[in-house]
Every structure is written in C-alpha cells, then in structure tokens.
Structure 1
Amino acid sequence: MATLIPYASLLAAPWKNGGGSTAQIAIFPPGANLETFDWRISLATIIADGPFSSFPGMDRSLVLVEGDSVRLTLDGMRQVVLDAASPMLWFPGEAQVHAAVEGPTLDFNVMTRRSCCRHQLVTIAAPCRLARRSATTLLFVAGDGPVLARAGQQAWTLKRHDALLLDAVDALQWQLDAPHATAVFHLDLFT
C-alpha cells in the first residue's frame, strides 16, 4: 500500500565526524539498523569536508539535490564532482570516499545490499506517465513541486523533498502531474 513520507516528518541524525547529518526516508526490513538493512534511502546534508562511512557489501547511488557541488575522492585516486550538470554517482559501499564542499549540500542516498537486492535510479520530469519496474518503488520530488501522483482511485500530492513508497499491491502505471516541469527521482528496488 502506498505510503507518503513527508519531508517535514524526517529526523536528521548528526554524523560522528561532525561533517553533516542524515535523515532516513525508508529502510527495509522495517526496524533494521545500519548493520542489518537490505536497502536504505536517505537524505544527507554535508556541511564540511570529511570521509563517508564505509558500508562493505553495499551498492550506493548519490545524487546532488541542493547546493553548488560536492567533490568526491574515491579510494584516494578517482575524483568526481557532482553538480547541476552531472549530479549522480554510483559507487561501491566499501570504497573509501572523501567529500569536499564549498557550501552545504543536500544529497539523495540509496544503499542496497548487493547479496540480496539491487536498485535502479533515474531522474524524470513531471508531468509524465510512470511505469514501475519492480515490486517496490520510491518517488522523490527533487524539484519545487507540487507533484500529483495518481493511479486509479489513489492520488497523492507530494511537495518538494516528499517521497511516496509504493509496494507490490500498488498500480504499475502512474500519472505524475505538475504545474511546471519538476524533477522527480524514480527508484526501483529489486529483491
């Protein structure tokens, strides 16, 4: 059954290194912690340079949502800049990642345990039609919103940074309506 996850309901937990905070959007299985989850979706605020936590056995996607840019150094060698022109990066959770920022950023973060699941994340522009590809789908409004997500008798209004979690009983085809072009992240989780 569809679950609306308002941005206003998210609670941010500060990082141990003081460089930012993370607000969890959704986790599976319910009640899992950082050692036991199969997948986890969150928003991270980076306010200072520093290392990312290591998550061995995980595949990660990171998308810049707000802020000018974040420069990531992976395993001490590969440098990637996430900015408006190139906002998304996939990387293994065991990589040693160091972030450098010139100002605060807000980043959408997906982690899946590679031994049991995988994810596919794309950015789409509402208004549009959406075809789900998996039993579990999350929609996240990265743009200004609002976005009306509807299928049959179901209709949900999502504001900026709200999420809608869809499961196996929800429709596979959705209409996303918006008064102007709005960026939406379409995340399918495969188990």
Structure 2
Amino acid sequence: MRILRASDYRRMPWKNGGGETREVLVSPAGAPLNEIDWRISLATIATDGPFSTFEGIERTLSVIQGAGIRLMVDNEPPKLLLDSSDPCTFAGEPTTSATLVDGTIVDLNVMTRRDAFQHSVRRLSCTGQRRLEVSASTTIVFCQRGEVQLASERLGPEDCAVFDDDTGSIDLNATEPSELIVIELSSHR
C-alpha cells in the first residue's frame, strides 16, 4: 500500500489551456498525456466551457466539491453531476463541455487507454469499520471527505491509498462519516 497526500499532487495546465489540474497518479510514471495507459487527476472548473479531447481514452468524472455541473457529451441530453451523483463515464473523443450549476467545482477524473486498460469508479459511504473486496490489478481508495484509517495510515480529504497487484480485501475504519471513491484499474495485456 502506498499513501499519496493531496499536498503532493503535481499541478499542471489542462491540455486545452482552460484551467489547472492536479495529477494524482499516472501510468507509466511521468508519461505525457498522449502516452498514458491511465491517469487520475483533480480539476478545478471555475467557468463554463469545453473539455479537452483525448483520442482512444475512456473517462469517468466524479464531482467532489461544489454545487455541480451539467455535462454535455456530443448531442446527448445534458447530465447533471453533483457531489453525490454516480460517477459519469464517457468517451474522450466527442465534443464535451460543462456548465456550472452555481459556482466553482472540483472533479476527480479517471482516464484509461481503451486498448490497454479498463476502469471502474464507484462512490462508497463509510461509517466505522468496513471491508472492501477488490480484484483489480490496481485499486485506489480516494477520500472525498471525512477521515478513514487503513492499517496504520490515515487518509484525510483528497488523500488516497494505492494497492498494486492486490486482490482480496481492504479493511477500512472511518473515524467519522466519510465519503470515498474507489477506483479499480485492470490491464488488457
């Protein structure tokens, strides 16, 4: 298990230059955006506008702070995403944009290269002790809010724990009601 702290995430501009992202984790390490197998990042969206396009990439977006956004992907009806909504998965190629519901939001973005990896993202409410069953090659437990203990490590807001090549179970102990996002990444190779 590796612990990644919110204060250590690398800051970088969006691909389209419209804002800033904090890169939580990328594979391979240090890969430029056009060469990633997968990437997890946090983005602050302060204005309505277009999303960057990513050829060959599957994306999942989860709002973690703020009133929410309306996500428009291609010609589909807008999807309202709140900080309690199920994560929203969409292809990286279509024209995509968002309008803010009421002010700035922060989202958690998971991207995988379709021909190499697949991912699943789910929200998990946790109070007290809970066992999480996992079967992916890499599992990330991201703390949206609250505080959770994993073995001898504590996760606070926007911290995460990374489990590589672990299958089985992860024991969680929320010291207060907590909201987590569980990301599972599996290789096609």
Identify whether the pair has TM-score above 0.5, normalized to the shorter chain: yes
- State the alpha-carbon separation in 1 of the partners of residues 30 and 41 from structure 2: 15
The amino acid that maps onto 2:146 is D
- State the alpha-carbon separation in 2 of the partners of residues 124 and 85 from structure 1: 10
Contact persistence 2:59–2:91 (CA under 8 A): yes
1:165 Cα shift? 1.1
Are residue 8 (structure 1) and residue 45 (structure 2) matched?
no
- State the alpha-carbon separation in 1 of the partners of residues 19 and 6 from structure 2: 17
Aligned partner of 1:136 in structure 2 is 138
Aligned partner of 1:109 in structure 2 is 109
- State the alpha-carbon separation in 2 of the partners of residues 119 and 31 from structure 1: 20
1:109 Cα shift? 0.4
Deviations 1:43-83 (CA, angstroms, capped at 9, x unpaired): 01101111100011111100000000111111144211111
Matches for 1:1-191 after TM superposition, within 5 Å: 2-15=1-14, 19-101=18-100, 102-126=102-126, 127=128, 128-145=130-147, 147-150=148-151, 155-168=152-165, 170=166, 172-191=168-187
Contact persistence 1:26–1:42 (CA under 8 A): yes
1:180 Cα shift? 2.3
Contact persistence 2:72–2:98 (CA under 8 A): yes
Contact persistence 1:138–1:166 (CA under 8 A): yes
2:146 is paired with a residue of what secondary structure? Answer: coil
- Cα pair distance change 1:113/1:15, threshold 3 Å: closer
Query: What runs of 5+ residues in structure 1 fail to find an aligned partner?
Result: none
Contact persistence 2:27–2:37 (CA under 8 A): yes
The amino acid that maps onto 2:156 is K
Contact persistence 1:61–1:109 (CA under 8 A): yes
Paired residues, what number? 184
- Cα pair distance change 1:36/1:16, threshold 3 Å: closer
Query: What runs of 5+ residues in structure 2 fail to find an aligned partner?
Result: none
2:31 is paired with a residue of what secondary structure? Answer: coil
- State the alpha-carbon separation in 2 of the partners of residues 29 and 86 from structure 1: 30
- Cα pair distance change 1:85/1:26, threshold 3 Å: closer
Moved >6 Å (runs of 4+): none
- Cα pair distance change 1:95/1:164, threshold 3 Å: same
The amino acid that maps onto 2:88 is L
1:19 Cα shift? 4.0
- Cα pair distance change 1:175/1:41, threshold 3 Å: same
Q: Which segment drifts farther, 11-20 or 107-116?
A: 11-20
Two-structure CA RMSD over aligned residues (Å): 1.7
The amino acid that maps onto 1:176 is L
Identity %, equivalent residues: 34
